[in-house]
Amino acid sequence: MRPFDGRRILLGVTGGIASYKTVALARLLTQAGAEVDVVMTRAAQEFVGAITFEAVTGRRTYSDIFGAGNALDHIRLAREAELFVVAPATADFLARAAHGHADDLLTAALLANTSPVLLVPAMNDRMWANAQTARNVASLRGMGYTVLDPDVGALAAGEGSGPGRMPEPETILAHIARSLDSDATLAGRQIVVTAGATREAVDPVRFISNHSSGKMGIAIAEAAWRRGADVTLIVGHVDVPVGAGPNVVHAENVESMSAAVADALSGADALIMAAAPADFKPSRKSEAKISKRQDMPGMSIDLAPTTDILRATLPLRPPGAVIVGFALETGDALGKAAAKLKEKALNMIVVNDALERGAGFGVDTNRVSILTPNHEPEVLPLMSKAAVADAILDRVGPLLSGR
């Protein structure tokens, strides 16, 4: 699984109750294909046993800096690591790391380390708010370490709720992926992605929409964020996974999605229009629920076209912005996509057939063709939507490199 396959992660665990979450994190990393070496402090072993980590990683757990055969563990582990993660990072550990201590295996390895460092604090909210902790965090960030802010939530028993809770394993996993998969062509770029269907109201309880799940657009937004971009994800009525990643903006209908795109586009380097906004809306919305009467011989709803969001962006596009469209077609998909590529002045269009098995709505796979001006269509095989997202970004990146 990109970007974890075969990557070597050094995972430090310090003495906090949140260390039980680190077991789940180690399992997620291992399942994703990473090789995880766990280093536990003495205090950490008061909360979780070393054998627990060995069971989920399938690898030895380290804790001793002294003893036969251990003398150079801190050097070897640091040298082999592609990313150094500490979760939870207690207030004590942050203080020792900020001041260059090397009195146990974990801090000694940190001093010998040259790979990127991700620290995940967890402590009581009063400890997090303490000025000394704030200075230590600022010092660590000044050294180039990434230090996450803790979540706000329930703390240890009797301590109520506040900032200090360690983020959930899935959130930490996303930050680890971002640290491993930075892309020079995308890092720091402002990318706007749309996803999902809109709903166009018929009356207060009914609407016109389509079957779009938003999975493709969400996959693109997550992949762009993982690769270092600053991403705004504008979504219709879809479920967005909770955790680290893009800034999410919700849009009720085509009108609100178009307004959100226009607002986000002003400072954007790229727009990837992967949403499936409704093409039609009722020409008139009923202010009251339309009654269903058995003696009614029939009824009809007059439809009107909705705003074409990509066309509406034509006068708003920043100079040099990369604009990517999507087309879901039935019949002559390539011909229809080529026409849209030209008519909407796109840098790229991604097209697939709604009737093809495994490539339509609500599935985790897709088979797409990518069209760019003055080039033959590039037909990709059936693959996961996550892989399609990376394939699209592999082609967007070079287009951005000239900006």
Which residue numbers are catalytic? Answer: 210
Distance of CA 223 to the CA centre of its chain: 6
DSSP E strands in 178-300: the ranges are 190-195, 200-203, 206-208, 230-235, 247-250, 270-273, 280-282
Task: Give the Å distances, CA to CA, from 158 to 88, 89, 165.
Answer: 20, 21, 14
The dihedral region occupied by 33, where left means phi > 0, alpha psi between -120 and 50, and beta the remainder, is left
Task: Give the sign of the dihedral formed by CA 154, CA 156, CA 160, CA 163.
Answer: negative
User: Pairing between strand 369-371 and 378-379?
Assistant: antiparallel
250 half-sphere exposure, CB direction, 13 A CA radius? 6
Say how many residues make up the chain.
403
Q: How far is CA 350 from CA 308, 309, 327, 355, 393, in A?
A: 17, 16, 6, 16, 12
- Pair of tokens at residue 311: 């066309």
Q: Report whether 282 contacts 301 (CB < 8 A).
A: yes
The vertex-103 CA angle with 98 and 107, nearest 5°, equals 50
366 by DSSP, 3-state: which? strand
Residue type, 151: D
Instruction: Count H helices and E strands in the chain, helices first.
Output: 13, 22
Task: Identify the residue whose tokens are 């000044």.
Answer: 142
CB 169 within 8 A of CB 21: yes
